[in-house]
Amino acid sequence: MRADLLDLLPDPAAAAAAAVTRQRSPVPGLALAAVVFAAYIQFGPNTDARSTAVAVPRRVAVQGVTCAMLPAGIRAQESGGNYRARSSVGAAGAYQVMPGNLPAWSLEAVGRRVALAEFLGSRELQDRIARRKIGEYCARYGPRGAAAAWFSGRPELHRDYRYRGGGAASVGAYVDSVMALSRRAAR
């Protein structure tokens, strides 16, 4: 680390300790900078764009949506709840799972590879497989990041209203719609 960067933080250890203990930092605004600086020192620069989303505990609600509520919103957005839905690009079922994802996701969720025909014929399998993957994304990226990951594979784009992630809507618009549908389904 360059010595001139170290001079930017008069006492990073004290500021980091203050941030962790939620005490007032000895230098205003320094606590956050110290935590970021400490993370940089420990982990290095973040060169993986997919890791930029912050992990959010499952019980935390984002825009009034918890991880438990999210599958209903995604199902409503993707197919309107139609478990036999097929898209022009091959996405299948109520959650519009891409067939290429089905073998690995079903193995993770139910312990075996599920064929597409069996998947389309079973609401229980669709719900179980989708809930497991959505829950994994949500635990890692929070509700907005999970919806973005489901739509585009890129959780960090949850507020990007320009990027088109495989559909007609921007990722941000898709995520906003999923959040609204998740809240509606929970009522």
Can you give the CATH number for the domain in which 117 is found? 1.10.530.10
Task: Provide CB contacts within 8 A for 185, sequence distance 6+.
Answer: 69, 72, 73, 76
In terms of domains, do 40 and 97 share one? no
Q: Note the pTM of the prediction, 2 decimals.
A: 0.67
How many domains are there within the chain?
2
Domain-located, residue 55? no
In terms of domains, do 39 and 81 share one? no
Domain-located, residue 53? no
Range of the domain at 32: 3-45
Domain-located, residue 175? yes
Domain-located, residue 50? no
pLDDT values of the chain reduced to their tens digit, one per residue, 187 residues: 444 444 444 444 444 444 444 455 444 454 444 444 444 443 344 333 333 344 444 444 567 899 999 999 999 999 999 999 999 999 999 999 999 999 999 999 999 999 999 999 999 999 999 999 999 999 999 999 999 999 999 999 999 988 665 566 799 999 999 999 999 999 8
Domain-located, residue 89? yes
What CA–CA distance (Å, rounded) separates 54 from 77?
A: 24
Q: Is 57 exposed, middle or buried (0-12, 13-18, 19+ CB in 10 A)?
A: exposed
